[in-house]
Structure 1
Amino acid sequence: MVDMVEGKAGMMAGVSARRATAIGAGALLLWSTLALLTTLTGPIPPFETEAVAFAVGGLTGIVWMTARGRSPLAALRQPPAAWILGVGGLFGYHFLFFLALKSAPAAEANLINYLWPLLIVLFAGLLPGERLGRRQVLGALVGLAGTVLLVTRGQGVHVDPAYLPGFLAAAGAAITWGAYSALSRLLGAVPTDAVAFFCLATAALSALCHAALEVTVVPDAGQAALLGLMGLGPVGAAFFVWDIGMKKGDIHTLGALSYATPLMSTLLLILAGRAQPSWVVAAACALIIAGAVIASWNARRGAAEGL
C-alpha cells in the first residue's frame, strides 16, 4: 500500500494525493472500534493495554515491510525530531485515551477525545502556507460548548469530581493527537515504515510504566484476543494509513471526514450496551461535529477553488 502511493508521487501528484487521502480515511473506520475494544478489555490497566497492543502493531509492521522486501534498518534510522514526535504522539495520546475510558463514562470521555478532528483543523491553520480564520475560531467555540455540555452532563457548571480526571485525560488526548497529526505534515521525508518502530518504542515505554505503576492483570483468552485485535487494527494498521494520509493526502479533507468517527464510535458503544443514549450525548455530539465542520469550511472551500 505504501509502495503504491509513493510510486505514483512523481508522475501523478494529483492522483497520488487522492489515493493517499482515501488510504488515510481507512484509519477512521478502524479508530471507531477502539473505544469499544478498550472497554471490553475490562480490568486490564492502561499501560499494560498499551504495551501489548503496540507490541503487536509494531511487530506486525516489521513483518509486513520485510515481506515487501524493504529494510527495517532503513526505517529505523530517523532524525531525533521524528522519534520525539512519533513516540510522544503515540505513547502520550493512547495512555491518556485509555486512562479516560477507564476513569470516566465511556460515551462522554470518548466524545471529548474526539475533539481532535477540530484541533487538526485549527493546528493545520498554523502550518506554513496556511492561516487561521474567524470560522476556525467560531468552530472551536462551538466544539468547546459541546465539551462543556458533556463534562457537566447538562446539569449546570457542577462537575462530578469522580469523573474529572477522566475528562481531563480525554481532553489531553485530543490535544496530543491533533498536534501529532498536524506536525506530521512537516516530516514528509520520514517513511511510513518508521511507524513500526515508533510503535515498538511506545510499547517499551508502556511496559516500563506498567512495571513501575500498575499491578499486572493476566488476560483471559477473550481479553488476549481483544488485545491482539487492537494491535492489528486501531492500534496497528490505522497508524500506517493515517501517516500516509497526513503526509501525502489532503489534510483538510481528512479532518472533515474525521468528524464521522465519534458518531460511529459512540454508536458502537451504545449498540454494545457500554453506553446509554441520552439527549446530553446527542446534543454534545451535534455541537462538536458542527464546530468541526464550521472550522474546516473555509479551508475545504479554498482547496476546492484551487483545483
Structure 2
Amino acid sequence: MSRGKATGIGFAAVLLWALLALFTVGSAPVPPLQLNAMCFGIATLIGLIWVGRSGGLGDLRKVSWKVYAFGTAGLFGYHLLYFTALRLAPAAEAGLIAYLWPLLIVLFSGLLPGERLRAGHLIGAVVAFAGAALIIARGGTSFDADALPGYGAAALCALTWASYSVLSRRLGDVPTNSVAVFCAGTALLSLVAHLLFEVTVWPVGALGWASVLALGLGPVGLAFYVWDIGVKRGDIQLLGVASYAAPLLSTLVLILAGVAAPSASLLIAAVLIAGGALLAAKAGGAN
C-alpha cells in the first residue's frame, strides 16, 4: 500500500469522528463505562470480520501482550474520558477541547527521531489553547464552574489520544488486525468496571439505540482500523493537518442537529483550535 493511499484511508477516520459528539449525545443517559462496553462490543464484531476477510488470524499470535495492553489502555482511556466529558459539560464545548489532539499530535511528533520542534509549533499551541480558554470562559461572558470536571476530562482525552497515536507510530510493524484485540480488551475491561462502579441504564427509545449502534459501527468501530493504517503507513503529520477539520465539522454537525446553539464565541473557538493546529503543522513542513 502506498503512503498516499494509507494517508487517505486514515483521513476517513476523521470524517467518522466528526459524528462522535452527536451520537454520544444521542446515547444519553447511558453511563460512560456501559457505553464503552456496548460500543466496543460492536467494534469487536467489526474486528472479527476485518480479521476474517484479511486472513490475518495467525498474525495475532505474534503480537506481544505489551502491545495489546498498550492498545487496550489507549482506546479504553480515551473513550472513557470522552464520554465522561460529554456527560459533564456542554457537548460542543467539551468536544472542541477534546479536539486539541491534532495539535498535540504535531507537537508530540516533533519529539520523534528525525523531527524537531520549531517556534511555529509553540505559536500554534498558544493560539489553539486560546480557543480552549475561550470555551472555558464561555466567550468571556460567564464562568461555569460546574462544567470544569467535564472540560478537564476533555483535556485529558486529547492528551490520551495524541499520545496513543504518536506512540503507535513506533509500533509500525504491528498488524492492523491487532486493533480487534484492542477493542475486545476495551469492551471486557469496560464491562467489568461498569458492573463494579455504575448502575446500568439502557438507551432511551429507537434514537438512543440507533446512536449506540452508530457509535459502535463508525466513530468507535471502523474509524480505529482505518486510523491505525494511516498513522502507521501514511504521513502522520499530514494526517494531523487533515484532522484539523474535525473540530469544525463536529461543531457544525451539532449546530445543524440542534444540539448546540450557534454563537460567535463557539465558532471563534473552533477556528482558533483548528487554526492553531494548522500553524503548528506548517511550522513542521507538513503542508
What TM bracket, shorter-length normalisation? Answer: over 0.9
Structure 1 residue ranges without an equivalent (≥5): 6-15
**2:210 & 2:279 partners in 1: Cα distance?**
40
- Give the equivalent residue in structure 2 for 1:224: 209
Root mean square deviation, CA, Å: 1.4
Alignment partner of 2:169 out of 182, 185, 191: 185
Matched, 1:198 2:185: no
1:259 to 224, 244, 248: 244
CA distance in 2, matches of 1:76, 1:292: 38
Gaps of 5+ in 2: none
Query: Is it true that 1:31 corresponds to 2:52 in the alignment?
Result: no
Between the aligned partners of 1:271 and 1:198, the Cα distance in structure 2 is: 33
Which whole-Å CA distance do the structure 2 matches of 1:287 and 1:68 have between them?
Answer: 41
- For residues 203 and 55 of structure 1, the distance between their equivalents in structure 2, rounded to whole angstroms, comes to 5
Look up the equivalent residue of 1:52 and give its one-letter code. M
Deviation per residue, 1:220-277 (Å, 9 max, x gap): 4432232122111110110000001000100111000000011111111111111111
Contact persistence 2:85–2:94 (CA under 8 A): yes
1:249 maps to 234
Per the alignment, residue 268 of structure 2 pairs with 283
**Could you state the TM-score of these two structures normalised by the residue count of structure 2?**
0.96
1: CA distance, partners of 2:267 / 2:108: 26
Runs of at least 4 residues off by over 4 Å: none
Match of 1:18 in 2: 4
* Structure 1 counterpart SS, 2:139: coil
Q: Partner residue of 2:281?
A: 296
Distance 1:83 1:298 in 2: 34
In the superposition, relative to structure 1, how do residues 291 and 92 fare at CA in structure 2: closer, same or farther (>3 Å)?
same
Residue 53 (structure 1) aligned with residue 30 (structure 2)? no
**Match in the other structure for 1:135:** 120
* Matched length: 286
- What whole-Å deviation, never above 9, does each CA across 1:166-204 have from its counterpart, x for those lacking one? 000000000000111111110001000000010010011
Percent of residue pairs identical: 50
Asked if residue 165 in structure 1 is aligned to residue 188 in structure 2, the reply is no
Hey, what's the Cα distance between the residues in 1 that align with 2:61 and 2:40?
Answer: 16
Quote the residue 2:259 is aligned against.
274
Letter in 2 for 1:31: W
- How big is the shift at 1:76? 4.8
Q: TM-score, normalised by structure 1?
A: 0.90
Whole-angstrom CA distance in 2 between matches of 1:187 and 1:81: 11
Shift of 1:20: 0.4
How far is the alpha carbon of 1:77 from its aligned partner? 4.1
Aligned ranges 1:89-168 → 2 under 5 Å: 89-155=74-140, 159-168=143-152
Deviation at 1:87, TM superposition (A): 1.1
Question: CA-to-partner distance for each residue in 1:18-55, whole Å, 9 max, x for gaps?
Answer: 01001001001111011000000121111111101011
Q: Deviations over 1:120-152 (max 9, x none)?
A: 000000011111111111111111111111011
Instruction: Give the CA deviation at 1:58.
Output: 1.3
